[in-house]
Amino acid sequence: MRAVKSGSYPGHKLIDQTAQTLWFLAPFGILLLVWAAAVAISGVPERIFPSIGGVLQAAATMIADGSLVEHTWASIQRVVIGSLIAMALGVPFGIAMGINRYVAGFFTPILRFSVSLAGIAWIPLATLWFGYGSATVIFIIFNAVFFSLVYSTVLGVSSIPREFYRAAGSLGARRLQTILEVVIPGAMPQIVTGLRVGLGYAWRGLFAAEMIATNLGLGYLLFLSREFYETNKIILSMIIIGILWLLMDRLLLAPLEARTIQRWGMIREVK
């Protein structure tokens, strides 16, 4: 019922890790087999459902002419720029709001409203404001991350127990010191969670915005390939999108969240 615990004796650690990796990869092997068999047996045309060979071929051609790297890089760049701006503005803004309990309470409904609207729903307005281009896509990413980050920062700051402020105060901490040493560490687990949620919305918004507003990026690649019924390119882009998010989430966000919560959070455990 529960995941198998790895052996506690040191010599078996490597074997365990290899076995775990194999167990992780095995389902994908099965999936590829099913895919190959399904295409071979049903004889579905390539323009409806591509074969594995077709996808590999698309990958080879697009790597060779550099377009795959170009599209992928454009998307990554937009995510990084958009979320960096959002972090630079969102965290200070959230802290400023959260530090006063009444201000925080006052703005919470507005923030919840904004979070629920953030991201994709802004696309029509963003194209009107920023035209068709990278700026619109970056704005959508910024927008999705920003509101989620501000909301969770406010939540995080206002969940810090009053006693901590008093303790810091009676130990002679000044306002700035309190912010740096009580507020930020105390709100950190929530901030990181907010970042992860916001990026989840942003990641979806990215492709929607790229499909509508630009002529570069993985979303546009998807859109363009659909126009020409190049399903092998569509599947290729989808696989790249999946791998990119897995890398980002598993290697960057989940460890960051787990570490922050272990380090500063007293509340819960993260899977």
Q: Which two tokens stand for residue 126?
A: 């963003």
Asked if residue 26 binds other proteins (CB under 8 A), the reply is: yes
Q: Which is nearer to other proteins, 214 or 231 (CB)?
A: 231
The interface with other proteins within residues 242-261 (CB under 8 A) comprises 242-246, 249-250
Tell whether residue 175 is a contact of other proteins (CB under 8 A).
Answer: no
Stretch of 5-13, 54-62, 85-93, 158-166 lying at the interface with other proteins (CB under 8 A): 158-166
Q: Does 39 bind other proteins (CB under 8 A)?
A: no
List 9, 10, 43, 162, residue binding other proteins (CB under 8 A): 162
- Using CB under 8 A as the binding rule, the residues of this chain from 225 to 244 that contact other proteins are 225-226, 229, 231, 234-235, 237-239, 241-244
Report the site for other proteins in 78-137 (rule: CB under 8 A).
101-102, 104-110, 112-114, 116-117, 119-125, 127-129
Q: Is 194 in the site for other proteins (CB under 8 A)?
A: no
* Alpha-helical segments (H) within 159-230: 162-170, 175-178, 184-213, 218-227
Smallest gap from residue 105 Cβ to other proteins (A) = 5
**For residues 42, 43, 48 and 49, what is the CA-based torsion angle, rounded to 10 degrees?**
70
Tell me which DSSP letter residue 166 carries: H
Return the residue of 30, 32, 33, 36 that touches other proteins, per CB under 8 A: 30
> Residues 6 or more apart from 147 whose CB is under 8 A from it?
90, 111, 114, 115, 117, 118, 198
Q: How far is CA 131 from CA 171, 207, 213, in A?
A: 54, 17, 8
Is residue 142 a contact point for other proteins (CB under 8 A)?
no
5 sits near other proteins (criterion: CB under 8 A): no
Cβ-in-10-Å burial (0-12, 13-18, 19+) of 134 comes to buried
* Angle between the N-to-C axes of helices 184-213 and 134-158, in degrees from 0 to 180, rounded to the nearest 10: 160
Question: How many helices, marked H, and strands, marked E, lie in the chain?
Answer: 12, 0
Q: Give 88 or 124: the residue with its C-beta nearer to other proteins.
A: 124
Interacting residue with other proteins among 58, 74, 155, 188 (CB under 8 A): 155
CB of residue 21 to other proteins, shortest distance in Å:
10
Residue 15 or residue 125: which is nearer to other proteins going by CB?
125
CB of residue 17 vs other proteins: minimum separation in angstroms? 15
Structure tokens at 115: 């979070």
Q: Which of 240, 204, 245, 244 is nearest to 225 (CA)?
A: 240
Considering the complex, state which of residue 88 and residue 101 has its C-beta at the smaller distance from other proteins: 101
> Considering beta carbons, is residue 88 or 110 the nearer one to other proteins?
110
Which CA distances in Å does 4 have to 12, 17, 20, 88, 162?
14, 12, 10, 41, 41
Residue 109: partners with Cβ closer than 8 Å, 6 or more residues away: none
Near other proteins in 51-80, by CB under 8 A: none
Single residue of 48, 64, 171, 176 touching other proteins by CB under 8 A: 48
